[in-house]
């Protein structure tokens, strides 16, 4: 039996059960593929259901606001995915009269759709014979053929593409693509692949050469940047309302479009005395008498290429905060309406913040 037939036969008995596998609707397949990038399928499953419930089709999504979409995306990370979904939905409605582009090349023109997503939607929704290449596929193919070129370099990618095209089932592109991704996720896993039970273990070249754990080869050493965030959680009363300050994050940095607290970023860890000596602090609180009521321990928040070391300072003011900075005064109980990064959500949940006014 050739590779494709064996793979599809394995898939027919072992495929994972997901709601997006019961539809050919390109909109729903697109949403699922975008959500599942960089996301565990368990977590992605719940977000998918919530997303489809609120925005069941292209037109409903195209009419949403960025804040609505970001709020729905809250906690999933990589927020540019949500912004791109919204932009692409508007583009399909305005430029394509609401008709979902149906070919790999048309799909590639849309914002946020790269070769992987274009291939997934084109093959699964429209049956176009184009193979997908994601991390699972890179791993399965490089192990099966014992490719020792780094898979993150042009030469390695080219080899994988060629090998993949040789074994790709052009008559069953949707099945083949979903099968190889499931196979990589369930059997040929990054760590401890289930070679003993694998349907390919007779012919897998890496297994025969006993080099499974060395493949795929990667050349990049990921570089990580450390950043030190000092968040000012500023509480005050205004017109007998309990208020807090938030700021909308600007483009060009992490969490663009989400809300967080006024921030002083430093080159290293600061204690309260060092923080209150910074120029930013003095500018923010010029003429005011802030009291630091609570200092949090450091939160380590890992992003793909950045480690954030974050401390929250709860600051109480006896008078209203009026400032020329771009902060927004929010009525405290309204905070849950705003899309915030997962870290801020965690802090707010852990520190029952309403208590500070009681
Ligand atoms: S034998 Fe092991 S390494 Fe080879 S394809 Fe199967 S699971 Fe992957």
The rounded Cα 30 to chain-centroid distance in angstroms is 15
Cα–Cα distance, 80 to 340 (Å, whole number): 14
Residues in CB range of 351: below 8 A, 6 or more apart? 294, 296, 312, 314
Residue nearest to atom 4 of ligand 1 (CA): 204
Phi, psi (5° rounding) for residue 338? -100, 140
Distance 143 CA to ligand 1 centre (A): 7
Per-residue confidence (pLDDT) for residue 324, from 0 to 100: 67
Q: Cα-Cα-Cα-Cα dihedral of 196, 201, 202, 204, to 10°?
A: -140
Q: Report pLDDT for 358.
A: 42
- 21 CA → ligand 1 middle, Å: 25
- Measured in Å, residue 142 CA sits from the centre of ligand 1 at 10
Residue 180 Cα, ligand 1 centroid: separation in angstroms? 12
Residue of 70, 60, 45 whose CA lies nearest to 344? 70
The reported pLDDT for the residue numbered 163 is 92
Say how far apart CA 35 and CA 77 lie, in whole Å: 10
Task: Indicate the pTM of the whole model.
Answer: 0.81
Nearest to 244 by CA among 343, 324, 308, 338: 338
- From 188, 199, 211, 216, give the residue whose CB has the most ligand 1 atoms within 8 Å, as the site to mutate: 188
Closest CA to 311 of 339, 340, 351: 351
Ligand 1 site, residue 10, Cβ cutoff 6 A: no
Q: Report how far residue 174's alpha carbon sits from residue 161's, in angstroms, rounded to the nearest whole number.
A: 17
C-beta 199 within 6 A of ligand 1: no
Stated as kind and residue range, the H or E segment containing 295 is strand 291-295
pLDDT at 248: 93
The residue contributing the CA closest to ligand 1 atom 8 is: 188
Q: What is the pLDDT of residue 41?
A: 87
Q: Consecutive 10-residue runs of the chain (358 residues): their mean pLDDT?
A: 90 93 95 91 92 96 96 91 96 94 96 95 97 95 93 91 93 96 95 94 92 89 84 91 91 91 91 88 86 91 91 88 78 91 91 57
Which phi and psi (to 5°) does residue 330 adopt? -120, 135
pLDDT at 357: 45
Q: Which atom of ligand 1 is nearest to the CA of 204?
A: 4
Contact 261, 332 (CB under 8 A): no
Domains in the chain, CATH or no CATH each: 3-214 (1.10.340.30), 225-357 (3.90.79.10)
Supply the Cα-derived Rg of the chain in whole angstroms. Answer: 25
> What pLDDT is attached to residue 283?
85
Q: How far is the CA of 208 from the centre of ligand 1 (A)?
A: 10
- Rounded-to-integer distance, Cα 267 and Cα 281, Å: 15
Going by C-alpha positions, the residue among 333, 336, 330, 339 that lies closest to residue 356 is 333
Verify whether ligand 1 is closer than 6 Å to residue 198 (CB atom): yes
In this structure, the residue with its CA closest to atom 2 of ligand 1 is: 195
pLDDT of residue 222: 63
- Nearest CA to 188 out of 225, 223, 145 is that of 145
Does residue 211 contact residue 147 with C-beta atoms inside 8 Å?
A: no
């Amino acid at each position: 039996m050739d590779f494709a037939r064996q793979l599809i036969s394995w898939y027919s008995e072992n495929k994972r059960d997901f709601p997006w596998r019961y539809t050919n609707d390109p909109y729903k397949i697109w949403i699922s593929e975008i959500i599942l990038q960089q996301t565990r399928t368990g977590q992605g499953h719940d977000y998918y259901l919530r997303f489809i419930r609120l925005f069941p089709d292209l037109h409903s999504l195209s009419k949403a606001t960025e804040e609505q979409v970001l709020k729905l995306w809250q906690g999933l990370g990589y927020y540019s995915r949500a912004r791109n979904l919204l932009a692409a939905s508007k583009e399909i409605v305005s430029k394509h009269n609401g008709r979902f582009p149906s070919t790999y090349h048309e799909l590639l023109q849309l914002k946020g759709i790269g070769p992987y997503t274009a291939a997934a939607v084109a093959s699964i929704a429209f049956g176009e014979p184009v193979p997908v290449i994601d991390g699972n596929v890179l791993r399965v193919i490089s192990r099966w053929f014992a490719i020792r070129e780094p898979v993150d370099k042009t030469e390695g990618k080219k080899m994988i593409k060629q090998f993949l095209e040789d074994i790709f089932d052009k008559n069953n592109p949707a099945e083949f693509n979903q099968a190889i991704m499931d196979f990589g996720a369930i059997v040929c896993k990054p760590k401890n692949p289930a070679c003993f039970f694998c349907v390919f273990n007779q012919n897998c070249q890496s297994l025969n050469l006993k080099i499974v754990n060395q493949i795929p080869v990667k050349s990049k050493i990921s570089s990580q940047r450390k950043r030190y965030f000092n968040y000012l959680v500023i509480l005050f009363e205004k017109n007998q309302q309990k208020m807090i300050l938030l700021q909308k994050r600007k483009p060009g940095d992490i969490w663009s479009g989400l809300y967080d607290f006024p921030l002083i970023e430093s080159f290293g860890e600061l204690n309260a005395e060092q923080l209150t000596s910074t120029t930013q602090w003095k500018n923010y609180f010029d003429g005011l008498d802030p009291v630091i009521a609570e200092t949090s321990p450091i939160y380590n928040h890992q992003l793909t290429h950045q480690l954030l070391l974050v401390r929250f300072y709860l600051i109480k003011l006896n008078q209203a905060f009026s400032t020329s900075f771009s902060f927004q005064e929010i009525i405290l109980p309204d905070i849950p309406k705003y899309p915030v990064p997962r870290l801020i959500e965690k802090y707010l949940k852990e520190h029952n913040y309403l208590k500070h006014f009681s």
